[in-house]
Amino acid sequence: MIRTKAAPLLILLLLFFASETTWAQARISSPYSRYGVGELWYNNYSTVLSGMGNVGLAIRSDNYLNIKNPASYTGFDTTSFLFDISGLGSYNTLKTTDISQGADYASLGYILFGTPITRWWKASFGLIPFSNVGYTVYDEKEVEDVGNVRFIYEGDGALNQFHIGNAFQITKNLSVGINASYIWGVIDRRRRVTFPDSLSMLSTRIDNFDHISDVMFELGAQYFIPLDNGMEIGTGLVFKPGMQLNATRKYIAQNYFGSADQNLELPRDTVAYNPSQKGTLDFPMGFGGGISLRKNNQFLVSMDFNWRNWEQYKSYGRSDSLQNSYSFHLGGEYIPKHNSITSYFHRVRYRLGFRYENTYLEINNTPIKEFGISFGLGLPFRRSKSMLNFAFEFGNKGTVENNLVQENFVKFTFGLSIYERWFIKARYR
């Protein structure tokens, strides 16, 4: 028979999270989300891995999903059904040389499923955020014969992805995989020019509504080398080919009376309007590699490196002054005694990690860097491979030099990894 004790719960959760009203995006507040497609979500793809510095390219598991490398899906067995779900909260402090302010947000994270197709073919699917946009930036200048001129830049929106992944066991030690993701969403960017010192001059507002909808792919491979004493070395590679995502932009430019500060805008005339400008977002190629050392049910240490050619990114044929990015990740996990019957805390998984990233942003000739230190816990269920996971990360992004903003952040991620045996044949009839 097929054991489906958790089936009703999983189906209800899928319907709940997939609904348009509940699959809401985080209302982030980051001036750096103004560039590219916003703040990318790739550092939040797994609560387990977030607690280990977001490593994962050379890691596979039989009780949680690792979508950082699609080849990892061969890690779960042929009788299991996996379900992962998460939520995220963050508190950021935005600081310049003059002022400091706080911002917080909370969001639903990912919802993922994993299932075997055959003994050598495993699959994964689910919903994951792709990027978020949320910013308001003011810039004021004194212009001769005009007075004070205020420039306001605002943006909000998000891109999501529906993910389908497949992994294939080629040999005992080698597996390969592919992720296909349908990307969709809307990003709204607004620019205003206002004249606070003048009652007669018209202000100008320009709106760009970008609707993105297309498919992206990612390839991966893993190779594991068994050693003595139950240890193994793992290696992993991923490749992201350059892709063009189809997009449609609604563009409108208007002159108006009033002030955005007072939420009073009286349109005077429309200067330009295009309801459906067709274009593409040109995403560049990238690759990553990782290595791991594991002793099953005792410890894991892993290291990753990623690089992407963001200088080639274009939006509607125009570059966005991005730079190539690279990141380094180091992390691990320790289990004191996985089968202890005297102490629950000996069965808990303790995680620690570090990451450093030279992001795709370079502003005022200053590269924007990001780093984080993380730790996590995996709390096992009794007599089950299911687990409740927590991850905490402390770090910062950017700098206060050259009139820029430094973001200090504290992130908290929680996730539930459910392992169920669904495909067990009955012994008796």
**What digits encode the pLDDT tens for the residues 73-82?**
999 888 889 9
pLDDT over 90 at 181, yes or no: yes
pLDDT over 60 at 14, yes or no: no
pLDDT at 99: 84
pLDDT at 349: 97
Query: What six digits make up the tokens of 35?
Result: 């560039």
Q: Which of 52-66, 193-207, 359-373, 408-422 has the lowest mean pLDDT?
A: 193-207
Distance CA 385, CA 83 (A): 12
Q: What's the pLDDT band for 19 if we cut at 50, 70, 90? A: very low
On average, the pLDDT of the chain sits at 88
Distance CA 307, CA 195 (A): 44
Q: What's the pLDDT band for 3 if we cut at 50, 70, 90? A: very low
pLDDT at 291: 98
Is 169 strand, coil or helix?
strand
pLDDT at 21: 40
Query: What six digits make up the tokens of 428?
Result: 């008796």
pLDDT at 24: 44
Buried b (16+ CB within 10 A) or exposed e, 397-423: bbbeeeebbbbbbebebbbbbbbbeee
% of the chain exceeding 90 in pLDDT = 67
Which of 331, 339, 428, 426 has its CA nearest to residue 380?
339
* pLDDT average, residue stretch 406-426: 84
pLDDT over 50 at 2, yes or no: no
pLDDT at 76: 87
CA distances from 331 to 283, 313, 350, 379 (A): 28, 30, 11, 18
pLDDT over 90 at 167, yes or no: yes
* pLDDT average, residue stretch 337-366: 93
Q: What's the pLDDT band for 304 if we cut at 50, 70, 90? A: very high
Distance CA 37, CA 367 (A): 18
303 Cβ contact list (under 8 Å, min separation 6): 55, 290, 291, 292, 328, 329, 330
Distance CA 346, CA 351 (A): 13
* pLDDT average, residue stretch 83-108: 88
Q: Which of 145-159, 278-292, 327-341, 348-362 has the lowest mean pLDDT?
A: 145-159
pLDDT over 50 at 237, yes or no: yes
Query: What six digits make up the tokens of 87?
Result: 């939520």
Q: What's the pLDDT band for 42 if we cut at 50, 70, 90? A: confident
pLDDT over 50 at 175, yes or no: yes
Helix (H) or strand (E) holding 9: helix 7-18
pLDDT over 60 at 429, yes or no: no
For residue 338, the cross-strand partners are none
Q: What's the pLDDT band for 20 if we cut at 50, 70, 90? A: very low
Fold classified for 7-421: Porin (2.40.160)
pLDDT at 261: 58
pLDDT at 264: 65
Q: What's the pLDDT band for 257 if we cut at 50, 70, 90? A: confident
Q: What's the pLDDT band for 26 if we cut at 50, 70, 90? A: low
State the sign of the Cα–Cα–Cα–Cα dihedral 103, 34, 312, 182: positive
pLDDT at 10: 53
Which of 179, 57, 114, 56 has its CA nearest to residue 422?
114
Query: What six digits make up the tokens of 2?
Result: 């097929």
The answer to whether the beta carbons of residues 249 and 279 sit under 8 Å apart is yes
* pLDDT average, residue stretch 259-275: 75
